[in-house]
């Protein structure tokens, strides 16, 4: 039977989903509260993992081991690295990588995780298609794009680092958890997708735009997810 793990880094990214679910139990592990129950009659576990890649990775492993989830969806906000992605638009992950993994002094290309067979983690094609279809249905005025999520333990807010993420990694959006969720899902062989609404442009205006737009952006994703889960 399917059971979908839904991860947001911050409360505002999961609060609407939690408000709409039927909760059967709440289990605490590693400082995180896992809300188990149903969303639109679909078995789910919804959790706020906290910010950054370590929190995200731990959360995936708990969802795999303690809840045996069959699919993982990461919802939240991100900074845009693509001129075609404006504030309020939605990005659905084609794949994800760690932009702060750098073993280049030993000859590895930036972003490559040494001794792993994969460093660019591909999202599940079916989940991507379902996310795109639901987005077009429930948010018809919102521009949606498939692209690459690049993640690091760093809020991106400047032209120099933004240009680096574009040119070195061909990133479409930057955030702080997606690649860890992708990496953990890959290792546990769980299909995943990352769905991110754009809250800022990861440049000099990011620290101004982010607080103004994060709430509205997170709501777009929640609406999409509520439609999507029952189709998985």
**Active-site positions?**
13, 200
Can residue 156 be called a binding residue for ligand ADE (CB under 6 A)? Answer: yes
Length of the chain: 232
Alpha-carbon 114 to chain mean position: 23
Can residue 200 be called a binding residue for ligand ADE (CB under 6 A)? Answer: yes
Exposed/middle/buried for residue 89 (C-beta within 10 Å: 0-12, 13-18, 19+) = buried
Selected from 5, 79, 111, 147, the binder of ligand ADE by CB under 6 A is 79
Angle subtended at Cα 212 by Cα 209 and Cα 217, rounded to the nearest 5 degrees: 95
Can residue 91 be called a binding residue for ligand ADE (CB under 6 A)? Answer: no
C-beta closer to ligand ADE: residue 12 or 27: 12
Cross-strand pairs, 97: 150
Can residue 199 be called a binding residue for ligand ADE (CB under 6 A)? Answer: yes
CB count, 10 Å around CB of 205? 12
Can residue 85 be called a binding residue for ligand ADE (CB under 6 A)? Answer: no
Can residue 78 be called a binding residue for ligand ADE (CB under 6 A)? Answer: yes
Nearest to 188 by CA among 72, 42, 74, 48: 72
Can residue 56 be called a binding residue for ligand ADE (CB under 6 A)? Answer: no
The DSSP secondary-structure symbol of 200 reads E
Element (H, E) at 167: helix 159-169
Selected from 69, 150, 165, 202, the binder of ligand ADE by CB under 6 A is 202
Selected from 46, 90, 135, 176, the binder of ligand ADE by CB under 6 A is 176
Can residue 47 be called a binding residue for ligand ADE (CB under 6 A)? Answer: no
Give contact residues for ligand ADE (rule: CB under 6 A): 77-79, 155-157, 174-176, 199-200, 202, 206, 210
């Amino acid at each position: 039977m399917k059971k979908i793990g839904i991860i947001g880094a911050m409360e505002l990214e999961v609060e609407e989903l939690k408000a709409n679910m039927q909760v059967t139990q709440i289990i605490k592990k590693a400082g995180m509260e896992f809300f188990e129950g149903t969303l639109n009659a679909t078995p789910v576990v919804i959790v706020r993992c906290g910010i950054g890649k370590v929190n995200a990775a731990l959360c995936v492993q708990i969802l795999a081991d303690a809840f045996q989830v069959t699919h993982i969806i990461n919802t939240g906000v991100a900074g845009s690295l693509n001129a075609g992605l404006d504030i309020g638009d939605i990005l659905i992950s084609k794949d994800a990588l760690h932009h702060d993994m750098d073993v280049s002094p030993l000859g590895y290309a930036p972003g490559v995780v040494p001794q792993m067979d994969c460093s660019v983690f591909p999202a599940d094609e079916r989940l991507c298609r379902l996310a795109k279809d639901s987005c077009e249905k429930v948010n018809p005025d919102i521009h949606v794009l498939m692209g690459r999520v690049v993640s690091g333990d760093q809020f991106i807010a400047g032209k120099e680092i933004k240009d680096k993420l574009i040119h070195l990694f061909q990133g479409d959006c930057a955030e702080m958890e997606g690649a860890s969720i992708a990496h953990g899902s890959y290792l546990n062989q769980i299909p995943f997708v990352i769905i991110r609404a754009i809250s800022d442009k990861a440049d000099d205006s990011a620290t101004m735009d982010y607080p103004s737009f994060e709430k509205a952006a997170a709501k777009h994703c929640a609406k999409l997810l509520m439609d999507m889960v029952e189709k998985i």
